[in-house]
């Protein structure tokens, strides 16, 4: 018995099963591994791409295509998924910015914007703003700076923003492409939240005034629904505000958001290194020394004209929308304070009514006590006990009148005592 035969018997004894093609549902042919892999990979979603010139196109890309195109880790796509749909985050990566603000879920690079689910009703306003504002800003950059770049020997790159360090100071007034998109996103989100707060205020005050005038089950249910909407809206505003505040507190995180700056630095470094390598191919050792010197010179040149921690433009942009969100938050808090005041007023009204009911109950109890005394005397005379008053004529009505007056006096005395003890209101 050979080794091959022994191995075959061992496999049969251990019941080692080989993969068998499983027939696909609804078809007569077996499902091969290639087809199974293809079906598992199929999870493409609708994306809209915007470039610097305002050109847009719709594409269906899967996760791998987005990761390869934007150079972001796979975990960042989970942030743009439905699980984190109500969270707010602005993440900086090496070549992209991942933005998840309310209904805006996008990946921003130095050259383009990838917008997820662009056909949603809420996202259409953001799409319109991108189409209206991006072409004008991009054309002003290209027309105003491209000619000077070509004349002075700058990097010709078909209209893209690639200034050399000498021309950087003249372009500082214009925001980079990624900040233009971020500004439009923040503007749309803040406007949406402001309009939501305005609608909440318009609906809240009449409902609260109605509750103050008439405490009913219907009005209480409306106020309960109003408080639920207010709590959810406050949480949404708070999430966006906290994310902006987190960025403002960390200059390093803000510096990471300068994608155009990092892109320009990489382009300039690669250009300087490429020029030095092409012009110095004499020997290996001098070439290495020259490469090191050029790398150090290029790093110092870029660091002089691009300060890594110069985040004034982004800081001013974020501060403006932070103050707007702070104002929106204060509006919501004022509505909540009005709700609390109305609830306090309603509770005071209910307490007052409860006190009046207690006073009425005490008054009725005193009256019942006085009537019970008269009933007690009537019960005494109703017994079959011999009494001389039974045989006297004309004594019934005077006796009943005196007993009634006595009970009334007893009622007034006890009532006066209760008022003296301030158990009843005056």
pLDDT digits (tens, 9 = 90+) for 93-108: 888 999 999 889 999 9
Residue 390: band (very low, low, confident or very high) from pLDDT cuts 50, 70, 90: confident
End-to-end CA distance of the chain: 117
The residues that bridge with 47 in the sheet, in sequence order, are: 59, 116
Q: Are 47 and 116 in contact (CB under 8 A)?
A: yes
- Its sign, for the CA torsion 129, 130, 133, 136, is negative
DSSP E strand boundaries for 9-108: 22-23, 30-31, 45-51, 56-61, 89-92, 97-101, 104-108
Say how far apart CA 114 and CA 107 lie, in whole Å: 5
φ, ψ for residue 73 (rounded to 5)? -70, 160
Helix axes 177-213, 259-279, angle to 10 degrees: 170
| Gap between the Cα atoms of 221 and 205, Å rounded | 15
Other Cβ atoms within 10 Å of 46 Cβ, number: 14
Tokens 């007056």 sit on residue: 405
Using alpha carbons only, give the angle 141, 147, 151 rounded to the nearest 5 degrees: 140
**Residue-wise pLDDT tens digits, 156-186:** 333 333 443 333 343 345 788 899 999 999 9
**How far, CA to CA in Å, does 370 sit from each of 94, 357, 373?**
91, 20, 5
Tally of residues, the chain: 426
**Beta carbons of 230 and 364 less than 8 angstroms apart:** no
Enter the DSSP assignment of 325: H
Place of tokens 């091959």: 4
Lowest-confidence segment of 345-359, 361-375, 376-390, 411-425 by average pLDDT: 376-390
Contact 255, 308 (CB under 8 A): yes
How far CA 170 is from CA of 62, 255, 262, in Å, comes to 41, 20, 18
Cα–Cα distance between 77 and 92 in angstroms, integer?
13
**Cα gap 179→56, rounded to integer Å:** 18
Task: Report d(CA 275, CA 188) in Å as an integer.
Answer: 45
User: What are the structural domain ranges in the chain?
Assistant: 121-348, 350-420
423 Cβ neighbours under 8 A, 6+ residues apart: 359, 362
Please determine, for residue 320, whether its predicted confidence score (pLDDT) is greater than 90: yes
Alpha carbon distance 222, 204 (integer Å): 9
Its pTM stands at 0.68
Confidence (pLDDT) at 277: 52
Q: Is 194 exposed, middle or buried (0-12, 13-18, 19+ CB in 10 A)?
A: middle
* CATH architecture, domain defined by 121-348: Up-down Bundle (1.20)
Distance CA(404)–CA(408), nearest Å, equals 6
What φ, ψ does residue 103 adopt, rounded to 5°?
Answer: -95, -5
User: Please, which pLDDT band fits residue 282 given cuts at 50, 70 and 90?
Assistant: very low
pLDDT at 287 over 80: no
CB 79 within 8 A of CB 89: yes
The stretch 19-37 carries a mean pLDDT of: 40
* Least confident among 109-113, 152-156, 389-393, 409-413: 152-156
Q: What are the two backbone dihedrals, phi and then psi, of residue 58, each rounded to the nearest 5 degrees? A: -100, 135
State how far the alpha carbon of 326 is from the alpha carbons of 109, 318, 332, in Å. Answer: 28, 12, 10
- Contact between residue 274 and residue 290 where contact means Cβ atoms under 8 Å apart: no
Average pLDDT over the chain, rounded to whole? 76
pLDDT at 31 over 90: no
Given a contact cutoff of 8 angstroms between Cβ atoms, the answer to whether 318 and 247 are in contact is yes
Picking from 161, 333, 131, the residue whose alpha carbon sits closest to that of residue 235 is 333
Bridge partners for 113 per DSSP: 50, 108
Pairing state between β 104-108 and 89-92: unpaired
Is the CB of residue 108 less than 8 Å from the CB of residue 181? Answer: yes
């Amino acid at each position: 018995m050979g080794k091959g035969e022994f191995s075959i018997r061992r496999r049969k004894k251990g019941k080692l099963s080989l993969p068998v093609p499983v027939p696909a549902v609804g078809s007569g042919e077996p499902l091969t591994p290639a087809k199974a892999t293809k079906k598992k990979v199929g999870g493409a979603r609708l994306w809209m791409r915007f470039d610097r010139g305002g050109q847009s196109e719709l594409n269906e890309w899967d996760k791998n295509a987005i990761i390869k195109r934007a150079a972001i880790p796979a975990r960042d796509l989970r942030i743009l998924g439905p699980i984190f749909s109500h969270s707010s985050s602005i993440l900086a990566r090496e070549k992209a910015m991942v933005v998840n603000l309310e209904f805006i879920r996008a990946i921003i690079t130095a050259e383009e914007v990838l917008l997820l689910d662009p056909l949603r009703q809420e996202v259409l306003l953001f799409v319109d703003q991108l189409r209206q504002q991006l072409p004008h800003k991009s054309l002003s950059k290209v027309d105003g700076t491209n000619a000077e770049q070509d004349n002075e020997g700058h990097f010709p790159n078909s209209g893209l923003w690639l200034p050399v360090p000498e021309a950087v100071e003249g372009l500082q007034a214009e925001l980079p492409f990624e900040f233009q998109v971020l500004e439009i996103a923040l503007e749309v989100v803040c406007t949406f939240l402001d309009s939501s707060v305005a609608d909440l205020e318009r609906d809240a005050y009449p409902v609260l005034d109605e509750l103050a005038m008439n405490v009913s089950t219907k009005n209480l249910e409306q106020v309960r629904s109003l408080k639920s909407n207010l709590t959810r809206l406050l949480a949404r505003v708070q999430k966006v505000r906290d994310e902006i505040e987190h960025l403002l507190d960390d200059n390093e995180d803000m510096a990471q958001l300068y994608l155009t700056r990092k892109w320009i630095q990489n382009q300039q470094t690669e250009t300087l290194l490429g020029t030095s390598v092409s012009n110095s191919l004499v020997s290996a050792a001098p070439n290495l020394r020259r490469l090191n010197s050029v790398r150090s010179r290029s790093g110092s040149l870029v660091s002089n004209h691009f300060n890594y921690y110069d985040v004034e433009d982004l800081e001013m942009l974020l501060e403006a929308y932070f103050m707007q969100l702070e104002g929106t938050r204060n509006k919501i808090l004022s509505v909540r304070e009005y709700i609390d005041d109305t609830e306090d007023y309603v509770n005071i009204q209910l307490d007052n009514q409860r006190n009046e009911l207690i006073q009425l109950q005490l008054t009725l109890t005193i009256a019942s006590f006085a009537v019970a005394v008269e009933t007690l005397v009537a019960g005494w005379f109703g017994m079959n006990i011999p009494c001389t008053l039974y045989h006297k004529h004309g004594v019934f009505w005077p006796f009943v009148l005196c007993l009634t007056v006595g009970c009334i006096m007893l009622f007034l005395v006890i009532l006066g005592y209760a008022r003296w003890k301030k158990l009843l209101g005056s």
